Amino acid sequence: MRTINRLWLTSLLLTAPLLAVAADDTPSADPEVTIRTEGDKTIQEYRQNGFLYAIKITPKHGKPYFLVRADGTSPNFIRSDQPDMLIPQWEIFSW
């Protein structure tokens, strides 16, 4: 009986750090929203576990619109209300 108690205690002590690490990596159910202003528009970035999946752009004058990932994983974004519109992704000048 004493050996069983020691084995049980040893296994408990060995698995406790693993459970603590697993508890820290649990995915969050709520999105993280970052709000910033550029010029005359407000930009809200929606992230789930650090993954940017949507951007809401609210111009000062006009209707707000969303940019979402084209296929869910690629870095190319499309407008949700006009899926055929291509959003340029290149850089022309850099200093």
Q: Which CATH architecture has domain 32-79?
A: Single Sheet (2.20)
Q: What is the pLDDT of residues 16-32, one digit of tens each?
A: 666 555 555 566 678 89
**Amino acid at position 62, single letter:** G
Q: What is the mean pLDDT of the chain?
A: 77
pTM of the model: 0.57
pLDDT band at 80 (very low <50, low <70, confident <90, very high): confident
pLDDT at 76: 75
Asked if the model's pLDDT at residue 86 lies above 90, the reply is no
Kindly give, in sequence order, each residue whose CB lies less than 8 Å from that of residue 89, ignoring residues fewer than 6 positions away: 75, 76
Q: What is the pLDDT of residues 28-72, one digit of tens each?
A: 678 899 999 999 999 999 998 888 888 999 999 989 999 888 776
CA torsion 18-23-28-34 (nearest 10°) is -90
The full set of domain ranges for the chain reads 32-79
